[in-house]
Structure 1
Amino acid sequence: MLTRWLLAAIHLLAFGFALASILRRTRGLRRCTSTEALPLIFSADNGWGGSALVLIVTGVMRAFGGFEKGADYYLHAPLFHVKMAALVLILALEVAPMMAMLRWRNAVRRGDVPDLTGAPKYARIGTWQTLLLIVMVFAATGMARGIGFDSGAGADAG
């Protein structure tokens, strides 16, 4: 019981950190006109990546690690599929900004000035990722309240 509670709490906290980090990175990218903005963007990007890793690890543990209702339960929950679709879209959208951040970090390490012309595009991607993260939270809270299950069988799913 304690492990289930801690995993759920860490999972939920990671959503908060993820939201704060992606909003911070997106705002930094919108304002990015010089390399002076990069430390903030890199810091937010680290937070986004770290919180995403925590979300994925705790989510897999909760859904498939025997800590919650079990894989069969989640695989039959319609909102779980919504949540996973949103996650897949977030990860697919992350490829371009992630590659840019790697290029920018490498350029800064070499003492070069990175090409920041893509920053507005990556900010727009961040906006979509933010919306998808919010969709994930709505799907998770709906699952926890049995939405999408017959006769409330899915209550307290998380």
Structure 2
Amino acid sequence: MFRDFILASAHHLLLFGLIAMLAVQSALLSRPLDTRAIRRLVGIDRGYGATAGLLLLAGLMRIGMGVKGSDFYLHNPWFHGKFGAFVLAALLSIYPTLAFLRWRKAAGAQLDWRPNAAEVSRVRMVIKVEFALIALIFVLAAGMARHGGLGL
């Protein structure tokens, strides 16, 4: 029982960590970017990736070692939706990661370099979609907790 509590707590805290890192990225992208801000974006993005990996690991551990057992999750349409939203957010996060790395390289080569407004806008849009997917994950988790694998 206590192991399940620890795994669930870690799972929830890691999800809030993802939200915090997306919020910081969004805030940094809302103002003019200099070399320092670009380096911060890269660092935060690394933290985002590590947190997402740990979140996935905690979730897998809940499936394999949690009180509810793997059948609860593997036969649960709410879980499949939740996992699908997570995978989609993870795939979308590749675009900002690649942009931040490109920007860091360009800013390192030329100190007064700045990304163009259109690309910054695209990255901000992707982050907004990631936020929406995380909100969807919370909604699907509520459905999973209340309806199990029985649907509505």
Q: Normalised by the shorter chain, which TM-score bucket?
A: 0.7 to 0.9
Partner of residue 102, structure 1: 101
Q: Distance in 1 between matches of 2:18 and 2:43?
A: 13
Q: Which runs of 5+ in 1 are unaligned?
A: 152-158
* SS of corresponding position for 2:22: helix
CA contact (8 A) 1:22 1:126 kept: yes
Q: Distance in 1 between matches of 2:54 and 2:67?
A: 17
What RMSD over aligned residues (CA atoms) do the two structures have, in Å?
2.3
Partner of residue 127, structure 2: 126
Give the partner amino acid of 1:140. A
Q: State, as a whole percentage, how many aligned pairs show the same letter.
A: 32
Q: How many residues align?
A: 149
Q: Which structure has more RCO (C-alpha within 8 Å, separation ≥ 6)?
A: 2
CA contact (8 A) 1:21 1:48 kept: yes
- Offset of residue 27 of structure 1: 2.1
Q: TM-score of the superposition, structure 1-length normalised?
A: 0.81
Q: Distance in 2 between matches of 1:39 and 1:7?
A: 32
CA contact (8 A) 2:7 2:58 kept: yes
- Offset of residue 61 of structure 1: 1.0
> Which is further off, 44-53 or 18-27?
44-53
Q: Which runs of 5+ in 2 are unaligned?
A: none
Which one has a larger percent helix, Structure 1 or Structure 2?
Answer: 2
Matched, 1:116 2:115: yes
Where in structure 2 are the equivalents of 1:26-105 lying within 5 Å? 26-63=26-63, 65-105=64-104
Give the partner amino acid of 1:31. R
CA contact (8 A) 1:26 1:126 kept: yes
- Offset of residue 8 of structure 1: 0.4
Q: Distance in 2 between matches of 1:69 and 1:59?
A: 12
- Offset of residue 37 of structure 1: 2.2
1:28-68 Cα deviation digits (max 9, x unpaired): 123244324224323432332222122111011112x2323
Partner of residue 141, structure 2: 140
CA contact (8 A) 1:32 1:119 kept: no
CA contact (8 A) 2:42 2:101 kept: no
